[in-house]
Structure 1
Amino acid sequence: MATPQEKLASSLEALKALQDRQGMVVRSADLSRTHRERLVANGFLIEVMRGWYIAASPNDRPGDTTAWYATFWEFVARYLTDRFKNDWCLTPESSLLLHAGNWTVPQQLVIRAPGGGNNPTELMHQTSLYDMRVALPPASDIETENGIRFYSLPAALVAASPAVFEQRATDLRIALAQIRDSSEILSRLLAGGHSVIAGRLAGALRNIGRGRLADDIIATMEKAGYAVRETDPFISRLDFDIPRREVSPAATRIRLLWQKLRSPIVDLFPDSPGTPNDVEAYLERVEDAFITDAYHSLSIEGYRVSPDLIERVRSGDWNPDAIAKDREHQDALAARGYWQAFEAVKKSVRAVLTNATPGDVVEADHSQWYRELFGPSVTAGIIEAADLAGYRSERVFIRNSMHTPLAPRAVSDAMAVFFELLSAEDSPAVRVVLGHFIFVYIHPYMDGNGRMGRFLMNVMLAGGGYPWTVIPVGRRNEYMAALEQASVHENIEPFSRFIAELVQSQLNGEALPAIPEAK
């Protein structure tokens, strides 16, 4: 008779075979009732709604949203196609967000379907679907990516409501910046006689610096006998024109976010003390902060470390050849990597304190920090050496965050613009706050982004003469909530206030956050 472990292994084999064929979404009919109930009981499946499940990890804590947010779009594609076949698509407004590269999980996703019921379908973690019973656009105006059906870009711009230009200004500007020729829009405007929409799109294009395209639309519509009154649907104007040759939506997004978010930061952050006169004294204080910094930064990421462990790995009192793949040893590897990276970051701080441009220093040095951070794990054989080469090549999700980091193909473009803006920025406060935030927003690596972001923040702090600052693990929830506000809602004020408060405490001469006594 099979043991419980053997029965579970059999069910996991069935689940793996299913995932290999069709991904992480499971219908009741895909597995036998016995397998399904066993996998749910052991935490390997989670019920989304009656008859539908997603794969999960038994290590997830109650209320953990990661599995759902990581699977949301796959679930939507499978469920809607099962229900409506190909007779559905996203609304024009939601379609524009995808064209802008924004795959953030919405609280409610509205779709169009001739067979819809005009009713919400409740899903997990306060998310839902709403299927409007309305006609679809022509098949030629529908595109598909990852199973999601949505309006083509020109069709979505013509069909979208005016309100979306105010509500989702960043995404709409990114979408508009991808229009290279007015003919993409004009054919639809002329066919429908859309003079009001023509005026709105002309004004929107002029807002982002595409005046030639705006003129083409107005002149062509007027030549065809339509009276066009140009109106700008955005409530603000940009301080710069989006570069015409910048074809990457990700690069445009970083440029727009930087401009939008930088203004509130200056008023919230303490004034820069200026470059310290005694570089060696500053670096000595940085060195003194190491154990505290390592404890809190690693603890934020979920590692279980102690001051004693950190000190031992710093001094070399450990044996990397004896490292096993258990939790305690992985914590030791993380601590050793943190020390090696910290030593590399100190060199970057020295360069900044001796008048090197902070953004240029980080651009040149950050890959070295990353290699040091994970070097011990390569030595121990836990990760491959190839994993240290460049930015990530796979999708990554942030635990319990609705924010979906950029697709792998977009990371290099985004990072190039990020470093351009970081180097050109003249406000030390903006470099500190947006340096940290934009880095983790892009999430260029599969792991270690938080630690790297905090290292980057401290190099930027040095560039403004501010003291090395530690983010306490005891305020982790507040820290993550502030990052979520900035990532999902483009509200940088909570994060700015959070960092500013910590920096001000150091300027006031307060002690670094305490390390709790071991229990």
Structure 2
Amino acid sequence: MATPSENLAASLEVLKGLQDQGIVAIRTTHITRTHRERLLKNGFLREVVKGWYIPSRPDEAPGESTAWYTSFWAFCTDYLNERFGGDWCLSPEQSLSLQTGDWTVPRQVQVRSPKGGNKPLSLPHETSIFDVRLALPPAQDIEVSNGVRVFSLPGGLIASSPTNFTAQPIVMRAALAAITDASQVLGRLLEGGHSTIAGRLAGAFRNIGRASIADNIVETMRAAGYTVHETDPFKGVPHVALGLRETSPYVNRVSMTWQKMRKDVLDHFPAPPGLPQDKAAYLKSVDEVYVTDAYNSLSIEGYRVSAALIERVRSGDWNPDSIEADRSHRDALAARGYWQAFQRVRQSVDRVLGSENAGYVAEAEHGAWYRELFGPSVAAGILKPADLAGYRNGPVYIRRSMHVPPNREAVRELMPAFFELLRSEPEPAVRVVMGHFIFVYIHPYLDGNGRMGRFLMNVMLASGGYPWTVVPVERRDEYMAALEQASVEGNIVPFARFLGELVKEERN
């Protein structure tokens, strides 16, 4: 007779087989009752709605949202494909959000289908699917993005409601900027006789500086016998500048987010004192805060380190092969990496205090910070040298967050644009708050993004003469909640206030 461990192993083999097929939304028909109940009991499956399950981790606490948020879009796709086959797609408004790189988990997924039931399906953590009985757009206007059936960019722009331009101006402007030629929308406008929509899109293109596309739409529609009255659907929404040559929706979204949030940051963050007269004294204060900074920053990330271990690592009096008495091997390696990275960041601060452009310094040096941060793990054989070669090559998720970081291809577009924003930003306060926020929003590495974001923040603080500032582990929940509001709700005020309070406390 098989032991309980052998039975569980057999059930896990079945679960692995489903995952190897790319199945995330697991139906009762996919797995026998015996395997299902065994996996549920041991925490490897979690019920979403009656008859539907997702894989989970047994160490997740009850009410933990991470498994759900990381499975959300794949679950919705599997569920909708099972119900409707290929006869569904997201609403045009939500399609454009995804098409412009925003995969944040929404409170409600809005779906069109001729078979829709016109009622919501409640899902975990106050999310839901609402399938509306509506005809689908023409086949040419439907695309599949990461498995999700969505409106194409031209189709979504034409089908979006007029109010979405003012409700979601960053999404709509990023979508418009991804259109490179009027012909991408003109055929659809002419075929549908959409004279009112043509006037709205012409005004929208002119608003973002694409006057040639706007003129082409108006002139072509009028030549075809349509009466077109151009209107600006962004009327009342603050203008933001978009580069004429930049068509990446990811880059345009981040650029517009930066511009939109600048004023809120300046309104809620203390004015900079200016570069210090005594650079040596400033650097001495940085050295003095190291133990406190390392303890709090590592603790925020879940490492368990003591001040005594940090001191031993700093002095070189440590042996990673016999460190178990202090804490785990992993924690000791993290502490050593933090010490090495801190020294490299200190060199960057020195350069910034010498009046070098903080954005240039961060761009040139952040790779070295990262290599030092994880160098001990490479030396110990936990990581491969190739893991330190650059930005991530796969997806990454943030625990308990509804924000889904951009894909790996987008990261390579975004990071140069991010550093350009840092280089050209004239206000130190904006460099501090937006630098930290946008870095962790992009999440360019598989690990260490929080520590890197706080290192970056402190280099930017130095550029304004602010003191090195520690984010205390006791305020971790407040810190993460403020970042979540900025990422998911587009509200930077709580994060600017939070960091501003910490800076004021350091100055006092």
**TM-score, scaled relative to structure 2:** 0.98
Residue 198 of structure 1 is matched in structure 2 by 198
Q: Are 2:29 and 1:16 equivalent residues in the alignment?
A: no
Residue 157 of structure 1 is matched in structure 2 by 157
Cα distance in 2 for partners of 1:256, 1:339 equals 36
Percent sequence identity over matched residues? 61
CA deviations over 1:416-471 (Å, ceiling 9, x no partner): 11100101111010010001001000000001000000000000001100001001
Residue 395 of structure 2 is matched in structure 1 by 395
Residue 492 of structure 1 is matched in structure 2 by 492
Residue 138 of structure 2 is matched in structure 1 by 138
1:49-68 alignment to 2 at 5 Å?
A: 49-68=49-68
2:23/2:78 contact within 8 Å kept: no
State the secondary structure of the residue aligned to 2:457: helix
1:82-481 alignment to 2 at 5 Å?
A: 82-234=82-234, 235-240=236-241, 242-321=242-321, 328-481=328-481
| CA deviation after TM superposition for structure 1 residue 486, in Å | 0.6
Cα distance in 2 for partners of 1:94, 1:338 equals 41
| CA deviation after TM superposition for structure 1 residue 173, in Å | 0.8
1:269/1:497 contact within 8 Å kept: yes
The verdict on how the C-alpha distance between 1:335 and 1:67 changes in structure 2, with shifts beyond 3 A counting, is same
State the secondary structure of the residue aligned to 2:328: helix
The verdict on how the C-alpha distance between 1:440 and 1:43 changes in structure 2, with shifts beyond 3 A counting, is same
Q: Name stretches of at least 5 consecutive residues in structure 1 with no aligned partner.
A: 509-519
| CA deviation after TM superposition for structure 1 residue 25, in Å | 2.8
| CA deviation after TM superposition for structure 1 residue 385, in Å | 1.3
2:179/2:247 contact within 8 Å kept: no
1:66/1:399 contact within 8 Å kept: yes
Cα distance in 1 for partners of 2:249, 2:152 equals 15
| CA deviation after TM superposition for structure 1 residue 42, in Å | 1.0
Residue 73 of structure 2 is matched in structure 1 by 73
**TM-score, scaled relative to structure 1:** 0.95
State the secondary structure of the residue aligned to 1:129: strand
State the secondary structure of the residue aligned to 2:120: strand
| CA deviation after TM superposition for structure 1 residue 208, in Å | 0.9
The range that moved more, 267-276 or 461-470, is 267-276
2:305/2:327 contact within 8 Å kept: no
Cα distance in 2 for partners of 1:127, 1:352 equals 45
CA deviations over 1:13-60 (Å, ceiling 9, x no partner): 111122111233311111111111111111111111111111111121
| CA deviation after TM superposition for structure 1 residue 237, in Å | 4.0
AA aligned opposite 1:493: V
Residue 506 of structure 1 is matched in structure 2 by 506
Cα distance in 2 for partners of 1:294, 1:63 equals 30
Cα distance in 2 for partners of 1:211, 1:327 equals 63
AA aligned opposite 2:171: D
State the secondary structure of the residue aligned to 1:22: coil
Cα distance in 2 for partners of 1:417, 1:476 equals 29
Cα distance in 1 for partners of 2:327, 2:446 equals 19
State the secondary structure of the residue aligned to 1:225: coil
The range that moved more, 23-32 or 100-109, is 23-32
State the secondary structure of the residue aligned to 1:400: coil
Q: CA RMSD in A?
A: 1.3
CA deviations over 1:207-245 (Å, ceiling 9, x no partner): 1110110011111111122221111111324342x2232
Cα distance in 2 for partners of 1:57, 1:373 equals 28
2:240/2:256 contact within 8 Å kept: no
Residue 42 of structure 2 is matched in structure 1 by 42
The verdict on how the C-alpha distance between 1:504 and 1:81 changes in structure 2, with shifts beyond 3 A counting, is same
For these two proteins, the number of residue pairs brought into alignment is 506
Cα distance in 1 for partners of 2:203, 2:64 equals 44
State the secondary structure of the residue aligned to 1:111: strand
| CA deviation after TM superposition for structure 1 residue 354, in Å | 0.8
Residue 514 of structure 1 is matched in structure 2 by none
The verdict on how the C-alpha distance between 1:327 and 1:55 changes in structure 2, with shifts beyond 3 A counting, is farther
AA aligned opposite 1:41: K
State the secondary structure of the residue aligned to 2:506: helix
Cα distance in 2 for partners of 1:313, 1:139 equals 62
AA aligned opposite 1:391: Y
Cα distance in 1 for partners of 2:240, 2:138 equals 38
2:119/2:132 contact within 8 Å kept: yes
Cα distance in 1 for partners of 2:166, 2:442 equals 24
Cα distance in 2 for partners of 1:162, 1:116 equals 24
2:92/2:160 contact within 8 Å kept: yes
Residue 515 of structure 1 is matched in structure 2 by none
The verdict on how the C-alpha distance between 1:187 and 1:366 changes in structure 2, with shifts beyond 3 A counting, is same
Cα distance in 1 for partners of 2:408, 2:495 equals 26
The verdict on how the C-alpha distance between 1:239 and 1:109 changes in structure 2, with shifts beyond 3 A counting, is closer
| CA deviation after TM superposition for structure 1 residue 321, in Å | 4.4
Cα distance in 2 for partners of 1:238, 1:363 equals 29
Cα distance in 1 for partners of 2:159, 2:412 equals 32
Residue 516 of structure 1 is matched in structure 2 by none
State the secondary structure of the residue aligned to 1:106: coil
Cα distance in 1 for partners of 2:355, 2:95 equals 46
The verdict on how the C-alpha distance between 1:433 and 1:65 changes in structure 2, with shifts beyond 3 A counting, is same
| CA deviation after TM superposition for structure 1 residue 322, in Å | 5.0
CA deviations over 1:46-87 (Å, ceiling 9, x no partner): 111111111111121222211111111111111111011111
1:323/1:380 contact within 8 Å kept: no
Residue 28 of structure 1 is matched in structure 2 by 28
Cα distance in 2 for partners of 1:318, 1:8 equals 40
Cα distance in 2 for partners of 1:26, 1:317 equals 51
Cα distance in 2 for partners of 1:215, 1:247 equals 19
CA deviations over 1:381-425 (Å, ceiling 9, x no partner): 111111111100101111111111001000011111110010111
